[in-house]
Amino acid sequence: MTAIFISSSLPGSAVPSGVPDKLVHFAVYGLFGALVLRALARGRWSGVGGRTALASIVLTIAYGVSDEWHQSFVPGRSPDSMDLLFNGVGAAVVVGAAWVWSIIETSRAHATRRSGHAAPTFTDRLP
């Protein structure tokens, strides 16, 4: 959140160019959404519920709205609805993918336990 706030505080003339702006919004808010998901899931990647994933997306979008509003006070910057759209899409895609992956990993872990094999899943090896 701090990095997003600081980069949003830069005057319009100080914003670096080169990478398409919307791609940056998609990637940054996708990562931020994944971090919010991980925090709400208490550090776990497996067993994440749909409500937790949805809450992560909503919180990430809410921060994006506040960030766009914040930019209205920065010289040379202004709120942009397309930026907000890409913030939300980035969060939804990454959090949605993490949620689907969580469902697959949880199903795999349950199937492994039912079969009597104790092979660990990828998420069991994560710190």
In angstroms, rounded to a whole number, what is the distance separating the alpha carbons of residues 74 and 86?
20
Where are the extended beta strands (E) located within 4-107?
Answer: none
Give the residue ranges of DSSP H helices in 10-116: 21-40, 50-71, 81-115
Residue type, position 107, single letter: S
- The pTM for the full model equals 0.78
* Predicted confidence band of residue 125 (pLDDT cuts 50, 70, 90): low
CB proximity list for 50: less than 8 A, separation 6 or greater: 99
The per-residue pLDDT for range 8-20, each reduced to its tens digit, is: 887 765 656 777 8
Q: Point out the least confidently predicted range of 15-24, 26-35, 81-90.
A: 15-24
The Cα-based distances of 11 to 8, 21, 58, 67, 97 in angstroms read 8, 15, 28, 14, 34
Q: What is the mean pLDDT of the chain?
A: 85
